[in-house]
Structure 1
Amino acid sequence: MRIMSRSRAVVAVLAGVLALAGCGSGPRQVGAAFLIGNHEVTQDQVQALIDKAVREQPAAQQLAQQHKLDQLGRAIVSQLVVHELVTTAARHEGLTADENLVTQTLAQDPLAAPVPTTGVDPSQVPDQIAYRARDHREAVTDQVLMRDLALKYFDKMSVTFDYTSVVSERPGATMRDQALAKAEQMAANPAAAAQVIQADTAAGAETSVGERVPAVQAPDLAATVVFGALPGSVIAFQPSSQQAAWIVAVIRQRDLNTRQSVDQTTEPTASQLVAIGQRLLEPYADVAGLKINPRYGVWDPVAMTVAPSAAETTGAVISVKGSTQP
């Protein structure tokens, strides 16, 4: 399977990723926006980027007029967290960004033009502005490193999990509510997930036990929390915004070191590789003890972004109580 494409194509797609990507308790130190390991990023640093964006970007000025600069603050904090995570991962993995690729991408700087104030998905606007407020070389380097991290592991990644599903609303309980409650139930003890799935199977729900998926067969899934969560975790998430169903799964095995030999493979696009690389950063946040200042919200490990509150996350990752797995 040929994963890497020509340099020119890679540059173009990395530019496209930047142009299109959406890609606890508070910190102890007063004035910290977030703490990660022994490193602190301050509220002043975040505010300086917000101020820069409002000075330079009409779209940011529009957010200010709409009293939505909190969205921009969350986008900036999210990107700075990912920057810290990918920097740590690159050091741990011995990865160095290809400076030629970074320079070629910056030569056609995808972040040079202002964010349009019309005709753009509103959910994309804060991220677009945040990318432009940051140092462009740093932003591009992050994308290159995430791509390289994915290339290192993509053809060796597989996950085995058991899952059940939530496919309909109930009076007084949204599908999200039901999925999160079911995740808590499945994480109660090492035997609970099997009991819940067995009961759901008997009730006619879509379930599966021992589902094993190599990344080479499902690049889109490889960019989700299914591949980011560690064994001994229960996850709840909505795989597709186009479909209402939620999946609740317990991760049994996560293998990053066995080359996958399968009959059918799907070559990932460069943008998928960046998303997969970002997903591989998920465990680093836990190891580093990431703490977000509640002023900005809470870390959402399912979306790998800062959510406004715990009630607004896109799902959950819960460690199984009493599990002996890491």
Structure 2
Amino acid sequence: MLRRIVLALVALTALTACSTATGPQVGAGTAAVVGNATISTDLVEARLRTALPVLVDALNQQAQEEGRQSPALDAPTLAVQSRALLGLAIQHQIVLEATRRQGIVVDPARVEAQVAAAGGAQSTATTGLDLDALRDLVSDQLALAEIGRREFDRLQVTVDVGTFGDKASAERAATQLASDPGVGPLAALPPGMQILDRTVRPGNAQSDAVIRTPSSPIFGLPGRTVALLSPQQQQSTPGAPTPDPTTQPWTVIRVRDRSLAAPAPTGNTVPSALVDARTLAQFGRRAVQPLAAELGVQVNPRYGTWDPTQDEVVAPPAAAGSIIPLAPSVAFAPTAP
């Protein structure tokens, strides 16, 4: 429930790493580094102070709905909110670089119109975001929708996907898949827990939960990599213990190929012209994920760890997914149409 509260605080517009970078490093006063850009702890703390009244109201409402006493605003709850706010700031830096590279200019008038529609200066009381943060969020969503529109019809990925009972099993499978062109451990999984050599597009209608939406992580993973995806973290009632992520099911995805040269949409493939702006923005967020890996994202451990597979800040470190490249010797036979 708390995770939904946090997401609600930052989703008010109707739209919705592995690194070898040698730029700035995380140090005192730095919450995160994205490529050559730094995000200060002062920024995150200031935005957290702005968000606190809305967070307290949300927690009180949740407690009232569940018929229990309102909880204290404890350290774990504040940490969840801090990670969410830091994640927004990181995403903003990634989107800025993506728009620079693609020559996308977001119309300031559109941003101000959406900010005004959200309440303008009074929106802080409902969103928990100050005006600068709200403008950044609106601008990012508009930019991501445009990025999504440009790539929706062009992207296709060929993947092997398998779900394993715990992190250790998934890590062993990922290591083997990164060096062996055969499907290996995935083929040994029971039916329903594997997808083998499947080429997928964001406009395809898919039945499997891992790949059925344009916001799926598979559209954000670099080509010729193997990714370990952690189970979705569910924030429990404040004060309750958090399940050990290493003992939950983990997903392994091998991206055989990632291409922006897909043929024009036909048949059951929905074209971008028929996709709403919110969905395009959600897909756009995945579309810029490879750029995040290229730039490199470093997070101050006081906030958590950057998860390059889910594009967010997580805690504890064991909850973070990872991406490893395929060995250069790995070659696949052409995929059948």
TM-score (norm 1): 0.73
Aligned residue in 2 for 1:182: 173
Identity %: 25
Shift in Å, 1:192: 5.7
- How many equivalent residue pairs? 285
CA–CA separation in structure 1 for the residues paired with 2:171 and 2:256: 19
Q: 1:61 to 1:241 in 2, by over 3 A?
A: closer
- From 66, 73, 76, give the equivalent of 2:85: 76
Which stretches in structure 2 are left out of the alignment for 5+ residues?
1-7, 61-70, 206-210, 235-247, 332-337
Shift in Å, 1:109: 1.2
Q: Does the 8 A contact of 1:217 with 1:264 survive in 2?
A: yes
Shift in Å, 1:249: 2.3
Matched, 1:18 2:11: yes
Aligned residue in 2 for 1:221: 213
Q: Does the 8 A contact of 2:157 with 2:219 survive in 1?
A: yes
Q: 1:271 to 1:152 in 2, by over 3 A?
A: same
Which stretches in structure 1 are left out of the alignment for 5+ residues?
1-14, 116-127, 167-173
Aligned residue in 2 for 1:144: 142
CA–CA separation in structure 1 for the residues paired with 2:73 and 2:193: 46
Structure 1 segments of 4 or more deviating over 6 A? Answer: 20-26, 60-64, 238-242
Matched, 1:209 2:196: yes
Aligned residue in 1 for 2:255: 251
Matched, 1:232 2:236: no
- From 278, 301, 304, give the equivalent of 1:297: 304
Q: Does the 8 A contact of 2:13 with 2:138 survive in 1?
A: no
Shift in Å, 1:265: 2.9
CA–CA separation in structure 1 for the residues paired with 2:14 and 2:176: 34
**What secondary structure, in the 3-state scheme, does the structure 1 residue paired with 2:170 have?**
helix
**What secondary structure, in the 3-state scheme, does the structure 1 residue paired with 2:310 have?**
coil
- From 264, 268, 293, give the equivalent of 2:268: 264
Q: Does the 8 A contact of 2:223 with 2:256 survive in 1?
A: yes
Q: Does the 8 A contact of 2:15 with 2:281 survive in 1?
A: no
CA–CA separation in structure 2 for the residues paired with 1:21 and 1:280: 20
CA–CA separation in structure 2 for the residues paired with 1:234 and 1:44: 36
Aligned residue in 2 for 1:319: 325
CA–CA separation in structure 1 for the residues paired with 2:326 and 2:250: 19
Shift in Å, 1:246: 5.4
Q: 1:21 to 1:42 in 2, by over 3 A?
A: farther
**What secondary structure, in the 3-state scheme, does the structure 2 residue paired with 1:223 have?**
coil
CA–CA separation in structure 1 for the residues paired with 2:220 and 2:285: 9
C-alpha root-mean-square deviation of aligned residues, in Å? 3.7
Aligned residue in 2 for 1:66: 74
Aligned ranges 1:39-58 → 2 under 5 Å:
39-54=37-52, 58=56
